[in-house]
Homo-oligomer: A and B are copies of this chain.
């Protein structure tokens, strides 16, 4: 296995393509003797003449033509590769794969995603939703570039940046207008029907723990599976929803919902943006990260 210096093939390519060692030299910003020497090296290594030299340049011998048919392809591929890398660098292509919960996508990331997409329409966006442990698995398997979940995350393989702070709260609609401005105790609150996000969500666990630690048991009247439904049901007056305040900021502003304040401090949750420690980010991911931070 001899294996020539690949650089020689670049010289050969241009010599063959231009039909002139002099022109090849100019193309490659070399001198003509350098090109002459490079071609000679190739010819010596193969023991075969690649060009016939005539008075107005060079032309390929049959063997040279055979070689060229391979090298041309090869050269084109490298050219494409270099173009592609430039594209990736300029964020004209590539992809950005983010894992998280649908509600975080919608209520937290959406504006960033929109801006990013506007600026880099060539980047394919992929949003993968799942639970926090699922997201972590995806990240470790290399299926996503970023994970966006609620803190705390403790995993030595992960590097976690802090995102927005989420403050959970109870909200109600006009049906319970009498509670507006009041400060309720847990007991008082528990007399109303409560709407909670279902299952294994971190927010749900946090609020249950909070009530338990005060000797109460928070049992929902209604359990739903989406943040949108939490909002909708609260507006319709079916109960008091436990929800992340940032997700209902619009409704709170326009007055279709108001916060039901408790006399205990509500838990604060950090959004964490996870990446794999020591694994380089893609261009797209690092650009996107810069925007969130």
> A48 with B7: in contact, given A62-B94, A73-B77 (CB under 8 Å)?
no
For the complex formed, measure the closest distance between the CB of A114 and the CB atoms of chain B, giving whole angstroms: 23
Q: Is the CB of A278 within 8 A of B53?
A: yes
**A46 close to chain B: CB less than 8 A:** yes
What band does the interface of chain A fall in when counting residues whose beta carbon is under 8 Å from B? 35 or more
Interface check A153, CB cutoff 8 A: no
On chain B, the residues within 8 Å of A70 by CB distance are: 77-78, 80-81, 84
A181 proximal to B (CB < 8 A): no
The answer to whether A280 has its CB under 8 Å from any CB of chain B is yes
- A213, CB-defined interface residue at 8 Å: no
A282 at the interface (CB under 8 A from B): yes
Residues of B within 8 A of A62 (CB): 94-95, 145, 282
Minimum Cβ distance to chain B for residue A124 (Å)? 12
Q: Which residues of the other chain, B, contact A2 by a CB distance below 8 angstroms?
A: 82
What is the bound-complex CA distance between A178 and B282, given in angstroms? 100
A283 to B86, CA, bound (A): 42
- Given contacts A70-B84, A74-B81, A89-B47, whether A61 and B7 have CB atoms under 8 Å apart is no
* Residue pair A48, B88 in contact (C-beta under 8 Å): yes
Q: Is the CB of A282 within 8 A of B63?
A: yes
Say whether A289 faces chain B, with CB atoms less than 8 Å apart. Answer: no
Closest Cβ neighbor of A72 among chain B residues: B77
- In the complex, what distance in Å separates the CA atom of A7 from the CA atom of B89? 22
Q: Which of B5, B63, B89 contacts A85 (CB 8 A)?
A: B63
- Closest chain-B Cβ to A26's Cβ sits at a distance in Å of 13
> From residue A288, how far is it (CB to closest CB) to chain B in Å?
14
Extra contacts, 9 of them, besides A4-B82, A71-B78, A71-B81 (Cβ < 8 A), are: A9-B78, A46-B88, A52-B279, A52-B280, A61-B280, A61-B282, A63-B85, A63-B94, A74-B81
Q: Provide 24 A-B residue pairs closer than 8 Å at the C-beta atoms, listed in order of the A residue.
A: A5-B7, A6-B6, A6-B10, A6-B78, A9-B78, A48-B88, A48-B283, A49-B280, A53-B278, A54-B278, A61-B280, A62-B94, A62-B95, A62-B145, A62-B282, A63-B282, A67-B81, A67-B84, A67-B85, A71-B77, A73-B77, A74-B77, A74-B78, A77-B77
Interface, chain A (partner B; CB < 8 A): 2-7, 9-10, 46-49, 51-54, 61-63, 66-67, 70-71, 73-75, 77-78, 80-82, 84-86, 88-89, 94-95, 145, 278-283
